[in-house]
Structure 1
Amino acid sequence: MNFINIKAWKSRCTGAASLLALCLCAQPGVAQTEQILFDDFSYTTTTQLANNGWRLRTWEGGPGLANGTWSTNNISFVTDPASPANKFMRLKASTNINGSTIVNNRSTTGSVSQAEVARVEQIYKNGTWAARMYFNDAPSTGPDGDTAIETFFGLTDYIEGAEPYSEIDFEYLPNGGWWTGSATPSMWSGTYRIVDWSDESNHGVTRTQGSLQGWHTLVMQVQDGLITFYIDGVYQTSFSGAVAPDYPMYLMFQLWFSNDCFDAACNTRGYINNSNYREYFEDVDWVYFEKNNIVPATEIPQKIANLRAAGTSYVQNINGNSTSSTPAASSRPSTSSSSTAAAQQCNWWGTIYAICTHINSGWGWQNNADCVGIQTCQTLSPPYGVIGSTASSSSRSSTPLSSSRSSSSAPAAFSRLIQAESYSVMSGVQLDAANDGGAGQYVGWIDAGD
C-alpha cells in the first residue's frame, strides 16, 4: 500500500465542524509551505480593496508638496482591453499648479491630487517582491513635463535621518529630473538605510535611462544584507551591506509629483510653469510577495499563472494569517484572526504581534517572529494599539458580524487548528507517539485509499 506521512496542520475548510473527521485543504494554487501575499486586483470598488487589507491614503503632505493632497478617488479598477475577464488597479495623479507659484514647497495657487495604496501590515522584508505595472511616459491629459513619479516600493514608518528605517524602491520618472538636468525617462532602483542624502553610505541608487512605456514585471529579491532588482527577468542592479533593508516594511504603490530640483544648480524644479490641468496614470495588474524565499525573476509569471488557473484572486497567509478569495467572492468582507499569549501584545490594524523586549520603537525580530516596539504600537488609537496582559485573541472584519452573515444555505467558512488525531471515526489511520513539545499522539500514516 502507498501511505502519506502526516502530523498536524492548520486548515481552512468549508463545512460543518460536527461532520469533520479529518480535513485537509489549502488555498488554491498555493503550496502549504509558501507564505505569500497575492492580489489580482479583481475588484469593482475601493471598499473591496480596503477590505482585503489595503490602506488608501487621504491625508495631505509629502512626498511632494507639503500641502499636496491624496485621494481615494484617484484609485479605480479598469477592464483589461486585451482580456475582458481581467482587471487592473489604476492610480491617477493630477495637477493644475504653475511651478512659479510654489513657495517653501507649498502651492499658493492651484492644487495637486495624488494616489497611494499600501498594505496595512508592516511585515514585508526578506523574500521576493514582484508586481506587473504599466508605466506612462506622458500625461493622459494636458501639457507634459512635470516630474511625475510612478512607483512600487517598501517603506517603514517614515523617520527623518535616523533608525529604525528601511526603504526599497522602483521609481520611474518618465520626464527625468531629480537633479540630473536630463529629461530622459529613467528608472531609479534604490535602497535606503536612513533618510540622509548628505552621506552616500546611507543609501544605494542606480539610475537606468530609457523609456519603459508599457507593461513590465518588476522584481526585488531581499535577503539579509543584500537586495537585487530585476525588470522583465533581466538583472538591473544590487546593493549589499549596511544599505540593505533591516526592518519589516509596508508594501506600497504611489503616483505623485516631485518639486525637487530638476538640475544640479536647481535652475528649475519639478512642476512646469503652466496652470493648465494635466493628469497621469499607472496601472497595476497584480502584486506578489513570497516570504523568505528567493524566487528566480523568470519564474514569477508562472507563479501568477498557477494562482489564476486555480481561481485565486487574493491570498495573504503570512505570519499565521489565512485570508483568501476568488473572483466570485472578492466583494465579500475579509476577515483575519490571530491569537497569542504574552505579557503585552500589539493589535496592529487587526493583526496581533508581540511587544519587542529589546527595542522600544520600530519593528524587530524575536522568538522567530516579528515584534513591535511599544512606543510604535502606542501610536495607534483604540481598539488598536497595546492590548491585554494575558492570552488574547483578535478578529477584525470590515463589517459587524451580524451584517456579514449570509442567508445562503452554504456552510460557513472557518479557520482553526485541528489536531489530526482527534477524529471520531477512522479507517486506515495509524497513530504514533509524539516526541515534540505538544506530547500526545499524531497521525503517522494514512492509507492512500482512505
Structure 2
Amino acid sequence: MSQPRRTPRRRAWTVLALPALLCVLTACSGGSPSGEGVDDAAPSTAPTPSGPPGTLFDNFHYSGPDDPSLAAHGWQVRTDGGGPGIKDTWSTTGAGFPSDPTAQGGRVLKLQASTDGTKEGTRQVEVQSTGTGLFTGTYAARVHLSDKPTSGRNGDHVVETFFPISASDASDASTNYSELDYEYLPNGGWGSVGPQLDTTSWFKADPPDRVTHALKKRVAGWHLLMITFMNGKVTYSLDGKELFTSSGKYVAREEMDVHFSNWFIDLPFTGGSRTWDMKVNWFYYKAGEAVSQADVQKTVDGFYSSGINHLNTVPKS
C-alpha cells in the first residue's frame, strides 16, 4: 500500500549555478573543491556512451548537506514540515556523504532515519533534485536497501524510497500530478506484514488513484533500480528484471524532480533509539531514451573512469 508524497515542493535553490555550468561545458576536465567536478588525478577524457545532451548524472561526492556544490548541482535536503510519515520531523542531520568500500567509487549519499518511538525523538530524511525537469526517458539509481536497523531494536515500519514526482511547487494540487514510486518496506506497513518492494504509478493523490505491484521478498543490499517512461508506458526494473508496467492514465503527465527518502509510517513502540540507513551510490537520467541496464552501467562506468562526479546537460524546458 503506497502513499503519495503529500507535501509542497520547494524551490529554494537553483540548478546549474556557474560552477556546475562550467563543469558541464568542460566535461569536468580539471580538479575542483568539495566534490564539484572531478577527482584531482582523473583523466580528462569524457565518456562517449549515452553522454550529453540530455544526461543528468551525480555520484554524490560532497562534503555534507551544507556543501555549496550540493545546491549548485541542483540538490537540496528537506527541512520543511508535513508528511508523509511522522509529520514535521524532516531534518538535514540524517544526510551524509561518507566513504563506503562497497560502493562504486567508494562514496555514497547516506540517508539515516532515526527514532526513539516519539515524535520529538524522530528524524526523517529526504534529498531531492531541483530546477531540472525530468520527463520521458530512463531513470536509474544504484541503491542500498536495509532489512535491519543499523543500531537498536528491529520492528519499525520504515519506508526506503526512490521516486520521481511532479516538480511544481504544490505537486499534489497539480491537475497533471505525476509520481512514480519505488518503496521498500522491510517490516511492512499499512496492514501489510512485509517485507515487500512496492512499485506504484499515480494518477491522483487525493483521493488516491494509482496502480501498484508488491514484490514480496527481502531485497536488502545493493540494487540497480530503474524506471523507463517511453511511448506511453512506465516500466519498473530491478537489476535488469522487469517488475511492473503501467500505462493509460497511470503514467507521468508533467516534468518531475527525483527524490530519495527514508521515513517512518508510524511509531509502533517506544523505548530505545534505533537508526535505519539507506544509501545511494549514484543517480543517472537519460532524457527521451530507453536505456538498457547494461548500457546504463557502461555509461556510469565511463563517468567514473573519466573522473566525472556530476553532469547535467538536460535541455531546459
- 1:39 maps to which residue? 58
SS of residue paired to 1:112: coil
SS of residue paired to 1:205: strand
* Aligned-partner Cα distance in 1 for 2:115–2:25: 46
1:205 to 2:212 alignment: yes
* Aligned-partner Cα distance in 2 for 1:33–1:253: 24
After superposition, residues 265-284 of structure 1 pair within 5 angstroms as 271-284=267-280
- 1:174 maps to which residue? 186
SS of residue paired to 1:144: coil
Offset, 1:27:
8.1
* Aligned-partner Cα distance in 1 for 2:61–2:129: 16
* Aligned-partner Cα distance in 2 for 1:145–1:166: 31
Cα distance, 1:175–1:86 mapped onto 2, change above 3 Å: same
Question: What is the TM-score when the length of structure 1 is the normalising length?
Answer: 0.57
How many residue pairs match? The answer is 273
Kindly provide the CA deviation profile for residues 367-396 of structure 1, in whole angstroms up to 9, marking residues without a partner as x: xxx3xxxxxxxxxxxxxxxxxxxxxxxxxx
- 1:365 maps to which residue? none
- 1:165 maps to which residue? 177
> Which residue, out of 144, 149, 160, partners 2:154?
144
SS of residue paired to 1:78: coil
1:59 to 2:80 alignment: yes
Kindly provide the CA deviation profile for residues 21-42 of structure 1, in whole angstroms up to 9, marking residues without a partner as x: xxxxx98215565311100112
Offset, 1:143:
1.3
1:70 to 2:90 alignment: yes
1:240 to 2:247 alignment: yes
- 2:298 maps to which residue? 302
After superposition, residues 263-342 of structure 1 pair within 5 angstroms as 271-319=267-315
SS of residue paired to 2:300: helix
1:123 to 2:133 alignment: yes
After superposition, residues 179-198 of structure 1 pair within 5 angstroms as 179-180=191-192, 182=193, 184-196=194-206
Cα distance, 1:96–1:226 mapped onto 2, change above 3 Å: same
Offset, 1:82:
4.3
**Structure 1: gaps spanning 5 or more residues:** 1-10, 15-25, 99-106, 260-270, 321-369, 371-450
Kindly provide the CA deviation profile for residues 191-217 of structure 1, in whole angstroms up to 9, marking residues without a partner as x: 10111455xxx3111010111111000
For the 8 Å contact 2:132–2:314, the answer to whether it is kept is no
After superposition, residues 350-361 of structure 1 pair within 5 angstroms as none
Code of the residue aligned with 2:72 in structure 1: it is: N
Question: What is the TM-score when the length of structure 2 is the normalising length?
Answer: 0.80
1:97 to 2:117 alignment: yes
SS of residue paired to 2:315: helix
For the 8 Å contact 2:53–2:315, the answer to whether it is kept is no
CA RMSD of superposed structures (Å): 2.2
Cα distance, 1:142–1:243 mapped onto 2, change above 3 Å: same
1:219 to 2:226 alignment: yes
Offset, 1:310:
1.6
* Aligned-partner Cα distance in 1 for 2:206–2:142: 30
Offset, 1:72:
1.4
- 2:25 maps to which residue? 12
SS of residue paired to 1:69: coil
- 2:37 maps to which residue? none
Cα distance, 1:187–1:32 mapped onto 2, change above 3 Å: closer
**Structure 2: gaps spanning 5 or more residues:** 1-23, 28-43
Kindly provide the CA deviation profile for residues 89-134 of structure 1, in whole angstroms up to 9, marking residues without a partner as x: 1001111125xxxxxxxx4xx4311111111125111000000010
* Aligned-partner Cα distance in 1 for 2:227–2:103: 27
Identity %: 28
**Structure with bigger gyration radius:** 1
For the 8 Å contact 1:162–1:194, the answer to whether it is kept is no
Code of the residue aligned with 2:216 in structure 1: it is: Q
Offset, 1:161:
6.8
* Aligned-partner Cα distance in 1 for 2:45–2:207: 44
SS of residue paired to 2:123: strand
For the 8 Å contact 2:64–2:95, the answer to whether it is kept is no
Code of the residue aligned with 2:253 in structure 1: it is: D
> Which residue, out of 109, 117, 121, partners 1:111?
121
